[in-house]
Amino acid sequence: MKSVRFHRLACAELDEAVGYYERCRPGLGIDFQAEVEHVIGRIKNNPASGALYRNSQVRACILRRFPYVIYHKEIADAVWVLAVAHGKRRPSYWARRRVE
């Protein structure tokens, strides 16, 4: 099982989304966080999970309950989460991010 590391901007996106959903309805942000953690667990166990994004080595895992996508890339010793992106807003804004 590989470790999972988050790009600093992906961390900020996750925090922002949790806060947004928590403001919408108390407890909803916690539900969002739990679903992200579930998908991250799946990625840890199988870094090849998710569809390849265009012609790249980046994979996309779609959350079931929320309109978000986790974009990740497997490297030698870990899996990097490049973005926790809303599936309907600003497509590919994260594509220039590099593993830190």
- Map residue 90 onto helix, strand or coil: coil
CA 55, 87, 74, 97 torsion-angle sign: positive
- Whether the pLDDT of residue 13 is over 80: the answer is yes
Phi/psi at 81 (nearest 5 deg)? -90, 115
Structure tokens at 25: 């309805």
**Distance of alpha carbon 18 from alpha carbon 30, whole angstroms:** 7
Cα Rg for the chain, rounded, in angstroms?
13
What is the reported pLDDT for 41?
Answer: 95
What confidence category does residue 9 fall into, taking pLDDT thresholds of 50, 70 and 90? very high
What confidence tens digit (pLDDT) does each residue in 24-47 have? 999 999 999 999 999 999 999 999
CATH number of the 3-86 domain? 3.30.2310.20
What confidence tens digit (pLDDT) does each residue in 77-89 have? 899 999 999 999 8
